[in-house]
Structure 1
Amino acid sequence: MSQFEVFAPAKVNLALHVTGQREDGYHLLDSLVAFAPVGDMLQLSPAESLSLKVTGPESRGVPEGPENLVLKAAALYGPGPGAAIHLDKCLPAASGIGGGSSDAAAALRGMAALRDVALASGAAVVKLGADVPMCLDPRPARTEGIGEELTPVALPPLPAVLVNPRVEVSTPAVFKALASKTNPAMEPIPAFVEAADCIAWLARQRNDLQPPAVALAPVIAEVLAALSALPGCKLARMSGSGATCFGLFESDAAAEAAQAQLAAAQPGWWSAHGALGDQAAKAAPRLR
């Protein structure tokens, strides 16, 4: 029996500008997204119906019923052979790094491989969540509109440390607290030669959701300060609507050493390190 394994990488908003709001309430975004080599893992095995089992270090509180985006995504393929899906949850929930959306996108890739059909796309995928389309093909991209307008971007690998203080932040509450819903878009994205060039450009951009998120969860400011104080950290910023933050470094060795230092100082925080960039090859379904 065919069993597929699919990696669901963490999504990181390197910059996130809120540029407007539609009449239906959706916010218009201009964001630069890259993916991390850390994430969740899904296993899909043929079955008569759809089912989900969730385990792993971050599985507590993650539902296994039809409200889970993984099952909603798998159901998009309509009637036919089902799948027994096992989600190994390694990313903290509600953390601003697209864990649920990336899991849903991995389920879409896995179901397409399991049934040997075309990958689902279009409005049905967007309805799962604004982040799901960008997670379907986890390569660096500029995302506009509500997140469905994707333009591939070439980025150098960006050594990073990801940190979450284990505080969940409500995305609707962060958007509601946003002082201005109409802000300048990102600067034109240049061709980057190396990580230092990209980091210097990113330093001139923003995450418009960071100030309201810090107001709602002041511990985010503590995380940003801790990252900024690490040796070799060139830029510290929050991802998405929080509370996960990232620090960028110029070498993998510097990021690894910094993450070890932070983990020792703050053992209650979730942290990881790795180079942000293109994770499409790692995220492709693999036959087991």
Structure 2
Amino acid sequence: MSHFDTEAAPAKVNLALHLRRRRADGYHDLETVFAFTAFGDSLSVATAPGLSLVVEGAFAGAAGQGDDNLVLRAARALAAAAGIGDGAALTLDKRIPVAAGLGGGSADAAAALRLLNRFWGLRWPEARLTALAADLGADVPACVVSRTCFGSGRGEVLAAWPDDLGGMPILLVNPLVAVPTGPVFAGWDRIDRGPIEPGAALNSLRNDMTAAAMALAPAIGDVLAALESAGGATLVRMSGSGATCLAMYADKAARRAAAAALGRRGWWLAESELL
């Protein structure tokens, strides 16, 4: 067993998100294209008698240090499922904005599962980790995988996406407005606008949560318009329930130019690539 180890927690983006129906259990059936960026949080672990978490970094204050943090919930779930009595002192470097449509909490929980699976010497296969992850949140299984994939059900039913988008330059922009997911789902107009066909051109798809999110946070519309007007993007879209928006580019020069154009707006930006 190592005494110190680190795991990346890549930010999740939704390149498309189609809402299909509201279910009897209050969740929504949806279809989405998950992708992941080289940008994200980082989780490290050291040997300790009990389970503990310290949150550092730019968004540590918003993420919260509490006992209900999803990282600790994931750690406890894995320890219980594996019959592990060992501890772990976890430290999270929180770089992903909170309530931003980037799956930060889910990414961190998934990183905890991967990291502790290794740290505790469990050697569980990925499928066993994703099964455990489904109880922690709809996006956590996809974040365990952390590669482009198609999600259905609540987002936890995963399948391969035929296009390899690895290395694609991406720009993430958030107007520094936190948008809670629940009210955005509640604002959906309940109209099923059709499925995502595997391998469909991304430009032919959509994010059905955009209108409801913009009604709650009009700044999202400003970000989308700014990304469009900056030019050079092959795709401009809101991620998840917002407020982060993304733009994909054919090359890094186009991404850099767009980032420079938007950098004066006082928004949060991250230039990255898809994994």
User: In which range does the TM-score fall when normalised by the shorter chain?
Assistant: over 0.9
Instruction: List per-residue Cα deviations over 1:57-98 (Å, max 9, x = no partner).
Output: 111232222210000001112241111000000010010010
Distance in 1 (CA, whole Å) between partners of 2:60 and 2:103 is 15
User: Equivalents in 1 of 2:221, 2:210: separation in Å?
Assistant: 9
Q: Tell me by how many angstroms 1:181 deviates.
A: 5.2
Alignment map for 1:121-270 (pairs within 5 Å): 121=129, 124-153=132-161, 154-156=163-165, 157-180=167-190, 182-189=192-199, 201-263=201-263, 265-266=264-265, 268-270=266-268
Shift of 1:235: 2.4
Letter in 1 for 2:96: L
- The answer (yes or no) to whether the contact 2:113–2:129 under 8 Å persists in 1 is no
Q: Is the 8 A contact 1:29 1:145 kept in 2?
A: yes
Partner Cα distance (2:130, 2:13) in 1: 23
Q: Cα distance, 1:216 vs. partner? A: 0.9
Secondary structure of 2:108's match? helix
Q: How many residues align?
A: 265
TM-score (norm 1): 0.88
For 2:58, the aligned partner's letter is P
The within-5 A match list for 1:78-93 is: 78=80, 79-93=84-98
Letter in 2 for 1:171: T
Deviation at 1:123? 5.1
Shift of 1:20: 1.5
Q: What residue is the counterpart of 1:108 in the other structure?
A: 113
Match of 1:286 in 2: none
- The separation in 2 between residues aligned to 1:118 and 1:147, in whole angstroms, is 25
| Alpha-carbon RMSD | 1.5
SS at match of 1:121: helix
Structure 2 length-normalised TM: 0.92
Secondary structure of the corresponding residue to residue 204 of structure 2: coil
Structure 1 letter corresponding to 2:119: L
Stretches of structure 1 that go unaligned for 5 or more consecutive residues are: 191-200, 279-288
Q: CA deviation at 1:121?
A: 2.9
- Counterpart of 1:283 in structure 2 is none
Equivalent in the alignment of 1:198: none
The alignment status of 1:9 with 2:17, answered yes or no, reads no
Q: 2 CA distance for matches of 1:188 and 1:80?
A: 43
Distance 2:31 2:68 in 1: 29
In structure 1, the partner of 2:53 is 52
**Counterpart secondary structure, 2:258:** helix
User: What corresponds to 2:65 in structure 1?
Assistant: 64
Unpaired runs of at least 5, structure 2:
none
